[in-house]
Amino acid sequence: MARTKITLGGIAAGAVSNTDLVEDAVTFNSTTVALGGSGTITTYTGDLPTITSLTPSVIPNDATAVVIAGTNFVSIPVVEAISTTGAIVVADSVTFTSAISLTATFTLPIDGTYYVRVENNNGLAVRTSTAALTVSDLPLWITGAGSLGTFAGGSAISTITLTATDATSFAVTTGAVTAGLTFTTGVGSATITGTQSAHTSAATDSFSVTATDAQGQTAVRAFTITWSFGASGGGQFN
């Protein structure tokens, strides 16, 4: 290189050729092209995938399968959950059902909302436009399953309280509370009160209660209530 072509004001035009550079070529998709030269760059072809729905759209932290409906999926794509904080979690497994359906299993230990991204093996990808996947703890029962106690059949019972964390409502979904009793739902707990009118001799009634949280997730627990009758009307035992 002629030294006279480099001055304090800069480098004169044409003073440095491509071959004078340590790196005198660029590489695209495994194709190397010399500076000043030309080449063919292979671009991805195909139709962009789309995502139309997630089922379910609310899942717990444990490993859960989510069916992703959409179009133009190619076997087998990479599926990711992207939190609103930017953290990326790759699906535990992905099952390619068809070009319009995938099943991805996610284990997401942090509650929150997530975008879902699908990238086909041809490089074409799509991400949900909103954080369409919600991760939330299931309602957690505090009241143990099984017997709620033995009560005198002819007397009003003391209030029975059923409790589950994160629950916003409760409902009897299998069987029924004993006739004469009132089941009242509330946020975080439900109560059973009243005087039974179904039995005149010893009996046990069975029923199940479903606790539901704000995201529509449920947890079911089975209970029993036992009725006793003595010579003088019996007593109440909790």
Indicate if 140-228 has the same CATH topology as 50-135. yes
Report which of residues 223 and 12 the model is more confident about. Answer: 223
Domain boundaries, the chain: 50-135, 140-228
Sheet of 50-55, strand order: 50-55, 64-71, 101-106, 93-98
Q: Are 126 and 80 in contact (CB under 8 A)?
A: no
Give per-residue pLDDT as tens, 39-63: 666 555 679 999 999 999 999 999 9
pLDDT at 232 over 80: no
Give the E-state strand segments of 177-233 in sequence order: 181-185, 189-194, 203-213, 218-228
Assigned CATH class of 50-135: mainly beta
- How much is the pLDDT for 128? 97
| Separation in Å, CA 106 to CA 39, 82, 178, 213, 238 | 42, 11, 42, 21, 43
Confidence of residue 13 (pLDDT cuts 50, 70, 90): low
Could you tell me if 152 and 76 are in contact, meaning their C-beta atoms sit under 8 angstroms apart?
no
Per the CB < 8 A criterion, the answer to whether 195 and 157 are in contact is yes
Which strand (E) or helix (H) includes residue 115? Answer: strand 112-119
CATH number, span 140-228: 2.60.40.10
State the pTM of this model: 0.60
Distances (CA, A) of 134 to 53, 72, 176: 13, 25, 33
Mean pLDDT of 191-204: 96
pLDDT reported for residue 230: 80
Render pLDDT for 84-135 as a digit per residue (tens, 0 to 9): 999 999 999 999 999 999 999 999 999 999 999 999 999 999 999 999 999 9
